[in-house]
Amino acid sequence: MTGTGSAAGATEAGQLRIELRSVNGRALQLKQRLVREISGLESVFEDEVRKVIGRGSVTLAVERSASASPLPDRARLQQIAADMRSLARDLGLDERLTLRDVLELASNAPSTFDREDCPKLIALLRVAIADLQDHRAQSGAETVAAMCAELDALDQLREEALKRAPAIVDDHRARLVLRMREFVASHALDLDEGALVREVGMFSERVDVEEELQRLGAHLRELRTVLNKGGAMGRKLEFLLQEALRETNTLGSKSPDVAMAHCVVAMKGAIDRLKEQAANLE
């Protein structure tokens, strides 16, 4: 599902803003862009995202808040300075430091944070994820409503096909009998009524689409059940729509009727739109 989520506040790495964006995707793909101070926390952030989100292409960006100082966190600078003085004493070197020395080391030093060191940062991330989920839920509800309306239209087309199906056999029977009688009369032959009945019966079996229409109806009912139930549904919807398309294709291939062919084309269009909508759901 598509959506955005964000949160800003004070963390162990200073004033930060976290923003998440998600778009459609069959599986979860996470891209991260973090500020240098927390560049070693990618796996921690991914764990938090995977706890909540199972599908979609998600971009996670962490940046300093607009009001934040461009300098590294003061506490971090103090710790670096203390560590440098301690190391100088251990090595018997001059302990004098300049601000430039500390800033240069801070800008190049790798992140020293781990999960236990940054509860505020993790809490902020969870707020951003929750905000994303709220937007995704709203988008999902709108998509479900649109899919239910599309299902109504598709079921109406199925009903029209169901009503048309018996007439296909009747029309063909009438045409076949007429042509056979005309052929027999023009060639002075005896009409084999038994052969005519067998031919009509074989054709009736070939063009009988009632079974396909019944199975299609079952798939549509299950689709509606899944949509109304809520929760993670994307993969099941994909499977059911693929089965619905299979039955519709068979319906089109078995029926020689023009009106039925037009109905099948409209049904395929509805299923394609449903598949596009289902890609927006987790």
**Are 266 and 157 spatial neighbours (Cβ–Cβ below 8 Å)?**
yes
The set of residues, in sequence order, having a beta carbon less than 8 Å from that of 211 and lying 6+ positions away, is none
Report phi then psi at 75, rounded to 5. -65, -35
**Are 15 and 115 spatial neighbours (Cβ–Cβ below 8 Å)?**
no
d(CA 146, CA 206): 36
pLDDT for the residue 124: 96
How does strand 14-23 pair with strand 28-33? unpaired
pLDDT for the residue 108: 66
pLDDT for the residue 153: 95
d(CA 63, CA 2): 22
| DSSP-assigned beta bridge partners for residue 16 | 9, 64
Tokens of 107: 């800008």
Helix (H) or strand (E) holding 32, with range, is strand 28-33
CA neighbor of 161 nearest in space, from 241, 258, 260: 260
**Are 84 and 110 spatial neighbours (Cβ–Cβ below 8 Å)?**
no
d(CA 122, CA 7): 11
CA neighbor of 129 nearest in space, from 231, 233, 44, 65: 44
Dihedral sign, CA of 192, 196, 198, 199?
A: positive
Tokens of 177: 């009998």
pTM, 2 dp = 0.64
pLDDT for the residue 230: 81
Question: Measured between alpha carbons, how far is residue 198 from residues 165, 180, 255 in Å?
Answer: 20, 13, 19
d(CA 105, CA 158): 71
pLDDT for the residue 147: 94
DSSP string for residues in 120-177:
HHHHHHHHHHHHHHHHHHHHHHHHHHHHHHHHHHHHHHHHHHHHHHHHHHHHHHHHHH
Tokens of 259: 């009106």
pLDDT averaged over consecutive 10-residue blocks of the chain (282 residues)?
Answer: 89 89 85 86 92 89 73 73 85 82 70 71 95 90 92 94 80 72 71 65 68 92 92 86 94 82 93 89 76
pLDDT for the residue 190: 65
**Are 282 and 53 spatial neighbours (Cβ–Cβ below 8 Å)?**
yes
Helices (H), 32-118: 42-52, 74-91, 99-108
CA neighbor of 247 nearest in space, from 274, 203, 214: 214
pLDDT for the residue 59: 95
